[in-house]
Amino acid sequence: MYVYTIIRLPRRTLSLHIHENGELEVRAPRYVPERIIRRFVDSKQEWIEKTRQKLATAPKSKKPTYQEGEAFRLGGREYSLHITDGNAIVLTPTKLFFPKKFLVRPTYHMEAFCRTFAKQFLTHRLDFYAKKMNVSYKRISIRDTTSRWGSCSNTGTISFSYRLIVAELPIIDYVVIHELAHLTYHHHKPSFWAHVATHYPDYIAARTWLRREGHTLKI
């Protein structure tokens, strides 16, 4: 029997998430009874144990404290946080100015800022690589996902987790190229990976890093 937290959401399917500390969270439709949720969790026993073992040996993430001088990485560039009396988060080439009044709910305000920043920055990277790869996407979508860094729909919409913006630039570019490659290859067969390798030769290293340390990308 597992202990878990249930998050009720307007969705159609059940999903199970394991936090870095090993705690379980079930995201469930509002109408699904708890007995069904319990059965769902019990059916995932093998996956839960394997995932917890991996987390126990994985690098630990550090949650930002939003203190003066703290280092933040956005879009592959390092910024030093400075507390101000302003009304908005502002970036300069080397500094991130953070309003003092936002410190009551710093993560909430930083997430909102990063969503906007991510859309602008990732659109730029998409356009850059789409031209090189001779493909065209329909639109970009920024989401709050933890299990997938990117996805490409069959209608040409490319979606990204806004947390990707905290990664190093080579990691960001790998995900961008990966999703653009799906506009040509709608699968993960060898031909897809060969196409990715044409534009990102070291894709295996980037893919491995995301699997092992992607959970450390915190805002």
199's CB contacts (< 8 A; 6+ apart) are 129, 132, 133, 177, 181
**Could you tell me the pTM of the whole model?**
0.74
Q: Where are the domains of the chain?
A: 4-57, 105-216
User: Across the chain, what does the average pLDDT equal?
Assistant: 91
Q: Residue 55: pLDDT above 80?
A: no
- How do residues 189-211 score in pLDDT, each as one tens digit? 999 999 999 999 999 999 988 88
CA distance 153 to 159: 8
Question: Pairing state of beta strands 15-18 and 157-161?
Answer: unpaired
CA distance 212 to 58: 7
Fold of 105-216: Zincin-like (3.30.2010)
When pLDDT is cut at 50, 70 and 90, the band that residue 148 belongs to is confident
66: left (phi over 0), alpha (psi -120 to 50) or beta: left
Question: If 0-12 CB within 10 Å is exposed, 13-18 middle and 19+ buried, where does residue 56 land?
Answer: exposed
Residue among 182, 177, 174 nearest 156 (CA) = 182
Residue 150: how many other CB atoms lie within 10 Å: 21
